[in-house]
């Protein structure tokens, strides 16, 4: 990724490229669509980088540069697919840990260091994934990132409640989670927020959180009052 950034002109920062790959991977896995045609790229880029892509010429630069930089392979008709499915699962796990607000510092530094190089004199900020990457970009007003805050519960349910999280994503996710006590507390708080919510609204989100808590710490559910919580498809083996 660093080599590609040095050789091209569009993804000038590591965090931008990381963001693009995370969002693209999430869309592919969420829709079970392992191929994306080059004609779809402009709409994806415009959605992800609204404040950067403001005219057709800029969009062309982004599109063609992006085609040669991502960890994708192209077939004869212009469909792009991941070089290996595990790449998608890795970037999806990264996005999930960040949106839950529990991304370990070692992983978060890939974004934070990149932002600090801008030279802002402002204090580092705590921002959600969407707040940080969809903000108005201005090199003068840039703010460095201290850590990712959790997205609101309704956003998390919408993004991550549609189905049980796969074993592959969970296996990659667990080492990305901070081992600070605050991370466990954060996951517990999110789980308790799902109390008294309808099964239709939650879908699998609360069950996924419970599964993750047990994987991170087998005592992660100890002492919690989970009455009225819908732990749909939760795997509590070893809790």
In the sheet that holds 72-74, the strands lie side by side as 36-37, 79-82, 72-74
Q: Which of 156, 114, 145 is nearest to 1 (CA)?
A: 114
DSSP H/E element including 26: helix 14-30
Q: Which of 51, 54, 44 is nearest to 20 (CA)?
A: 44
Would the pTM count as exceeding 0.85? no
Residue-wise DSSP of 203-235: TTHHHHHHHHHHHH-TTTTTT---TT---TT--
Kindly indicate the confidence band of residue 6, based on its pLDDT and cuts at 50, 70 and 90.
low
Residue located via tokens 């992983």? 107
pLDDT, tens digit, 9 for 90 and up, residues 12-38:
567 777 888 888 889 888 888 888 876
pLDDT, tens digit, 9 for 90 and up, residues 157-196:
999 999 999 999 999 999 999 988 899 999 999 999 999 9
Neighbour tally for 110: CB within 10 Å: 14
């Amino acid at each position: 990724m660093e080599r590609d950034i040095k050789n091209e002109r569009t993804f000038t920062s590591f965090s931008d490229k990381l963001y693009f790959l995370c969002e693209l991977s999430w869309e592919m896995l969420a829709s079970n669509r392992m191929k994306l045609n080059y004609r779809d790229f402009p709409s994806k880029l415009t959605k992800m980088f609204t404040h950067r892509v403001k005219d057709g010429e800029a969009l062309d630069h982004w599109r063609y540069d992006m085609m040669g930089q991502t960890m994708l392979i192209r077939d004869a008709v212009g469909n792009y697919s991941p070089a290996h499915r595990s790449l998608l699962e890795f970037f999806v796990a990264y996005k999930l840990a960040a949106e839950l607000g529990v991304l370990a510092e070692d992983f978060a530094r890939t974004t934070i260091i990149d932002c600090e190089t801008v030279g802002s004199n402002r204090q580092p900020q705590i921002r959600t994934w969407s707040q940080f990457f969809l903000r108005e970009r201005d090199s003068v007003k840039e703010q460095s990132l201290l850590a990712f805050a959790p997205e609101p519960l309704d956003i998390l349910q919408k993004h991550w409640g549609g189905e049980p999280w796969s074993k592959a994503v969970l296996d990659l996710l667990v080492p990305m989670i901070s081992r600070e006590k605050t991370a466990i507390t954060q996951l517990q708080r999110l789980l308790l927020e799902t109390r008294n919510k309808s099964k239709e609204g939650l879908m699998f989100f609360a069950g996924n959180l419970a599964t993750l808590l047990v994987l991170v710490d087998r005592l992660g559910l100890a002492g919690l009052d989970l009455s009225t919580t819908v732990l749909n498809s939760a795997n509590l083996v070893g809790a």
